[in-house]
Structure 1
């Protein structure tokens, strides 16, 4: 699937910034089109984030808007370059939705991942058997593809410069029997072992914490490693995956995550709870 056909969060961010620059210049889309040697429909597509743009074309637009150099220009060009990049997930384009492919691209480039889960172990931390128990594909090949994608995602944690991953799990996640006692025992052991890694922070919110703001549902915050901050919140539901990209709304999720971190057990106490539940299972 061509990058141009993907609903890319990166290109949406580029579009928002281009719209801001146009409005600051006091131009209509028609006027901007004439100024930038483009049609007004092209300006509309770019600002909506539904049309990919080559870095050299973006560089020309930024120069025309008065940003021929500087950190803002570099951040924008990096978004354009990364937005067109193809990764390992393109091998599974036949089995993945455009939304999931975009998410995998963002996850791969994230320098920080903060996830709060109330129901299931996050995909990045699942064992193969736990993941298999969650999948209900229509065919053996679909099962194989789904498992390969899930496990390929996890190689991100084994790179020379892995992202900082903070996972806050409700205690219910650990007690829910997925795949049976043996599968859960292995999953709990994996979580305990992963929690020893320096770049991983796995915390448990115990039942004793009572009501808290995280009860509204799970979410994941991705902070991309670009020059200039790009932070996106992802939400999953039966309708699929959706993004929260508005800066004010993203900040609300960051605030909630900070509160959840403070109310969760410490890293050491969380590890002790994982070991206790594993030995009891």
Structure 2
């Protein structure tokens, strides 16, 4: 049965997307089933997206643009739609992250979101968000697109060694995640370092933090608690964490040493055969 629920286009990016999809589909004189056939999906999926009951993917958006000759409207809109799926308290940070020219981050528990594989992200997000899992994973993958821009930000990441050993999602997920980290050795604007256990006490013991630098705006320090994020441009806080981050980088392994440790953990802890792990 065709879903004809009316939307308020101003209610959210998702509602606007759905209302525009319906409007342009009807202008093209296509039914939901006809458009679905062109897009290789069901009429039900088209109806759910048109009524904002399901979040579209980037691939769906690109296919719609091609099918309805929109000039890329939905491919441009999907970024806003997916960003709106992020937790409300995190959206402001995501916007600043996308504008930053230089990102420095220390991560004590998890691989930084911009470097996560979809499977790793799914395992992390499934803990507290099983009902909105696919939308949140898609939103996290959308954030990563800033690394593929013509002028991406410089990204410096220091990972505590514990992030390599914590088996998020299981053996295969971790093996692929560590391999993904190694792939960033080829990225000209990304540097990944590992802070080894042997470093002992260090300036990141109070937890993870991010420093964002911009072309024309003040630097920002971002920290996170269980259900909220905090951004500050306080000059003293920026000064202290900048020095702390420099010390973390100095205590961490070199880029080459970090790669060697990642490879070692991938081999010894997660093996090369599915289901094999060394305790």
Q: Same fold (TM over 0.5)?
A: yes
1:152 Cα offset (Å): 0.6
Pair 1:197 & 2:187 matched: yes
**Does 1:214 pair with 2:204?**
yes
1:156 alignment partner in structure 2? 146
2:248 to 229, 236, 260: 260
Number of residue-to-residue matches in the alignment: 195
The match for 2:55 is: none
CA contact (8 A) 1:89 1:101 kept: no
Name the structure 1 match of 2:164: 174
Q: Which residue pairs with 1:246 in the alignment?
A: 234
What is the CA–CA distance in structure 2 between the aligned matches of 1:269 and 1:155, rounded to whole Å?
A: 27
Are 1:276 and 2:264 matched, yes or no? yes
Deviations 1:108-140, CA, capped at 9 Å, x for gaps: 11100000001000000000110000113242x
Find out whether 1:187 has 2:177 as its counterpart. yes
- 1:103 offset after TM fit, Å? 1.1
Query: Contact conserved, 2:84 with 2:91, CA < 8 A, in 1?
Result: no
Name the structure 2 match of 1:77: none
Paired with 2:113 and 2:173, the residues of 1 have a C-alpha distance of 15
Residue 230 of structure 1 deviates from its aligned partner by 1.6
Q: Aligned equivalents of 1:213 and 1:110: distance in 2?
A: 24
Unmatched runs of 5 consecutive residues or more in structure 2: 1-9, 13-75, 271-279
**CA, structure 1 residues 230+205, in 2 after alignment: closer, same or farther (shift >3 Å)?**
same
Give CA deviations for 1:200-223 in whole Å, capped at 9, x if unaligned: 110000011011111111000111
1:131 maps to 2:121: yes
- How far apart are 1:143 and its partner, in Å? 1.3
What's the secondary structure of 1:101's corresponding residue?
A: helix
- Normalised by the length of structure 2, the TM-score is 0.66
Residue by residue over 1:233-267, the C-alpha shift from the partner in whole angstroms, topping out at 9 and shown as x without a partner, is 11111131111221111111111000101110001
Structure with greater contact order relative to length (CA < 8 Å, sep ≥ 6): 1
